[in-house]
Structure 1
Amino acid sequence: MGALCPTLASSLHQSYLARDQLPNFIWTNFLETVDRQLLWDDSVLNHYARVDGAGLVLTRQQRKQCQNLLQSLAEKLPQLDMEGKLNIWILKPGAESQGRGKMLQLAWSCTAPSVQVGRWVVQKYVERLMTIFGTKFDIRQWFVVTDWKPLTVWFYQDCYLRFCSRPFSLHHLDARHLCNVSVQKWYKTSPDQDPRVPPDKIWSNKQFQEYLAQVGQADAWHEVLVPGMKAAILNALRSARDRVRFRKGNFELYGADFVVGENLQPWLLEINSCPTMSPSSAVTRQLCANVQRDTLCLVLDRKDNPTCSIGAFELIYKEVGWGDGAALTPQHHQSLGPPLLRARGCHGSVTCLSSPGSVAVPWTGCRCHHPGEPPETPG
């Protein structure tokens, strides 16, 4: 099967290009914009000539059939809400930070021949995401694991948002997609960027909650986003616990990165060990200092004084059945959501994190970051 090359994609973006899951299938409303010399031998071109301003119009029965089809797909595809039309995938090296080596691909069939042999994480890109002032953002959320047997997880109730430097567009795979500070610092703010985007490209979660209230979603943070992030983190930890090298008496502070879908559903992108504590703004200067102080209180002071203040940390999970009898009350247990994707790659049995559409591919071994690996640098 041939694939739509990037050159052709660029030449057709003005023609309301809509690709299905078949990368060689092209649907355009303007036949004259198609450069046939750039088509593959097996490309299929679908075109309906416009006879009026509305173009092709569905009947009421056809519209109902489409709605029923989408509803049935939603029952079978739990990640349908993040799908779009362009079939974009993102490739990440298995143990890199700062956005190094990450690539966006327009179609899965373009991916396999374009990467080097090694460890890669392959994710379906979240095409239908929430933007703020037309700009993509992600959320850096901290949590601490103080024990793996029993699994004990503490969630930090403060976090921050990171903005890109240019307005979001799926037709330009550049500075609009990776929100890492270490990536965005190399780009100048676009002249068409909304002036309401903060100059330092950072918001606190409190600023985000104020914005949600302004757009009529005041309850979304506590009722949808926070529970969703907790559930995704627990999914990831439970799936990866057999691969984590852990010694009793150790702890680890992690940084989880999320994007938010159009329906305010958080999607876990990755989990970083040794998340950066280098401040890049007034917000991160305060929050990074706070989380370091509270982490020390949690793992040191609490040993001698179980009732001491642990700041913004909240115990969200402690596993039952490891001999100490400790367990949380039922209301503290989070739903673990859809089953995780388990895959078997060329390096044996591996588990992908609960990231959007993560898959294992024949030449890779999906993995999470482990304690002892190089720390993440600013971003």
Structure 2
Amino acid sequence: MDKRVTYCTDLEKSVIMSNFERRGWIQVGPEDEWNFYWSFTQNCRNIFSIDNGYRMNDNQIINHFPNHYEISRKDLLVKNIKRYRKELEKEGNPLAEKMEVVLPSGQVATRYVHLDIIPVTYVLPADYNMFVEEYRKSPQSTWIMKPCGKSQGTGIFLINKLSKLKKWSREAKIPFHPQLSSKESYVISRYIDNPLLIGGKKFDLRLYLLVTSFRPLKAYLFKHGFCRFCTVKYDTSVTELDNMYVHLTNVSVQRHGVEYNSLHGGKMSVQNFRLYLEGTRGRSVTEKLFADMHWLIVHSLKAVAPVMANDRHCFECYGYDIIIDNTLKPWLVEVNASPSLQSTTHNDRILKYKLIDNIISVVVPPDGIPDARWNKIPSVEALGDFEVLIDEELMEKEENGCRPTKNSRYR
């Protein structure tokens, strides 16, 4: 007997709806019996909240982990990566090796050799004194301030003087004393002021990552990411410090710019980016950059895996934002738990439709009916345009069988 699959969604986006409808699934409300829920993060948290007392059955799956914010809130991501590095250091793990680097000011700072994956970052107001200490080592440097809980470029600004931060603190009425808790915390990171430029413009990469389990860790990288470009040529002069069209790659910011091109939406596919790099820098350098980006993603996931509520009913698609500097070193800027499914161009629509289609194929068992008891090992055909980035369960099986695995480099 053919079982009817029901779905529920808080996001009435055509790329989602048309994927469900094409499968013959039937839409129901959140109060009804649903099998597959594509929910907002807040609604997912409500479902899992203790007060709610909602218990999912085996035929229900949902598109967020209960505490997804451990990786998607800027301050928590930083905290988890710092904790992960310290723990590896305590264990004497070679991954936590450090080295001394000379800063432009001539002062010496200590950096991680393998896990230097995020710019130097502090959470304000709590780390204010530590930030000042770091700032004084290289007072010429620029820093970027971001509110922890906001997205799409909201509330971000750059500073190059301590006085500017103090002035902002006074105006924002946020006293920088950890004892006094403020309503909103911010992260302040060393601004990557030597970004790789294409056509004189700054860009970042948006990569899509599907996680179906944190313990064991199972993550898949979507092959069709893209670069997001600023509309105005990059300029480090102080006069352009407040010009967000120069510094912020968010489409939500750039589409208001005079130079915005709605045809390509200021985007370039990852495939074209790879070809461009191979042509300008060579193949081996390009291969190394992509391997470094994979490394960065895997270790950001390993950093949060111990604190994630690993519920078998959950999966999640994260939007990774990565900036590459002109030495071809990738830096993790942030991770989004609800990457935009808004289609700004025709190509965007095709990409996002395929992304949703492939996600459903990976997270739903071969019989097409959601099942939380399923072992979450998709077939090669089901992966579509996803590639296995890491699967600790398969790695363990292969290690026991002593066969080499392409995942082994992440050990």
> Does the TM-score normalized on the shorter chain lie above 0.5?
yes
Query: 1:301-320 counterparts in 2 under 5 A?
Result: 301-302=365-366, 306-319=379-392
Alignment coverage as a number of residue pairs: 262
Aligned mates of 2:203, 2:190 — CA distance in 1: 17
- The structural deviation recorded for 1:320 is 5.6
The answer to which structure has the higher helix fraction is 2
Query: Which of the residues 162, 171, 193 maps onto 1:127?
Result: 193
Aligned mates of 1:289, 1:256 — CA distance in 2: 18
CA deviation profile, 1:294-324 (whole Å, cap 9, x unmatched): 11111114577735331111112123699x8
CA deviation profile, 1:201-257 (whole Å, cap 9, x unmatched): 111112212322332434443x12221221111221222234434411310000000
Could you tell me whether the CA contact under 8 Å between 2:118 and 2:331 is conserved in 1? Answer: no
- The structural deviation recorded for 1:114 is 2.2
Could you tell me whether the CA contact under 8 Å between 1:318 and 1:326 is conserved in 2? Answer: no
| Amino acid in the other structure paired with 2:269 | S
Matched, 1:271 2:335: yes
CA deviation profile, 1:132-175 (whole Å, cap 9, x unmatched): 01000010000011011111111112210111110001221211
Query: 1:1-379 counterparts in 2 under 5 A?
Result: 76-78=110-112, 86-108=140-162, 110-111=164-165, 114-115=168-169, 116=174, 117=182, 118-171=184-237, 172-173=240-241, 174=243, 175-189=245-259, 200-221=265-286, 223-302=287-366, 306-319=379-392, 325=397, 329-335=404-410
Aligned mates of 1:271, 1:102 — CA distance in 2: 16
Distance 1:128 1:297, change over 3 A: same
State percent identity of aligned pairs: 24
Aligned mates of 1:224, 1:200 — CA distance in 2: 28
- The structural deviation recorded for 1:179 is 0.6
Question: Cα RMSD (Å) of the superposition?
Answer: 3.5
Could you tell me whether the CA contact under 8 Å between 1:82 and 1:127 is conserved in 2? Answer: no
Could you tell me whether the CA contact under 8 Å between 2:117 and 2:331 is conserved in 1? Answer: no
Aligned mates of 1:266, 1:260 — CA distance in 2: 4
Aligned mates of 2:304, 2:163 — CA distance in 1: 29
| Amino acid in the other structure paired with 2:305 | R
Q: TM-score, normalised by structure 2?
A: 0.56
| Amino acid in the other structure paired with 1:250 | C
Distance 1:94 1:80, change over 3 A: closer
Could you tell me whether the CA contact under 8 Å between 1:154 and 1:314 is conserved in 2? Answer: yes
Where in structure 1 are there 5+ consecutive unaligned residues? 1-67, 337-379
Aligned mates of 2:150, 2:267 — CA distance in 1: 23
Aligned mates of 2:310, 2:284 — CA distance in 1: 38
Could you tell me whether the CA contact under 8 Å between 2:219 and 2:388 is conserved in 1? Answer: yes
Distance 1:80 1:233, change over 3 A: closer
Q: TM-score, normalised by structure 1?
A: 0.60
Q: Secondary structure at the match of 1:215?
A: helix
